[in-house]
Amino acid sequence: MPLRASYKPLEITLIRKDKTRSDLKRDLKISPSTLAKMSKGENVALSVIINICEYLNCNIEDVIELVKEDEKETTD
């Protein structure tokens, strides 16, 4: 089964670091279209992910994970 990106770990990390997506947009100059791609689980440039990791002082697995294509993300 193919893999796809999930940015669910980013949401958890943002909460732990007391940050928001708006902070990323403002402080890192991340475009709204990139944030929309992340919300949809679409691919974004690795450089964006690295910038987020540096900004949040975290590891890449705290931002993104790979999940099997057929797995549904649950939002509780």
Give the dihedral sign, CA 58/65/49/16. negative
Q: Give the DSSP H or E segment for 39.
A: helix 32-39
Tokens coding 8? 């669910």
Q: At residue 25, does pLDDT exceed 70?
A: yes
For 48, the enclosing helix (H) or strand (E) is helix 46-56
If one compares 3 and 60, the residue with the highest pLDDT of the two is 60
CB atoms within 10 A of CB 39: 11
Both tokens of residue 57?
Answer: 């002082």
- pLDDT digit string (tens) for 44-53? 999 999 999 9
List of domains in the chain? 3-68 (1.10.260.40)
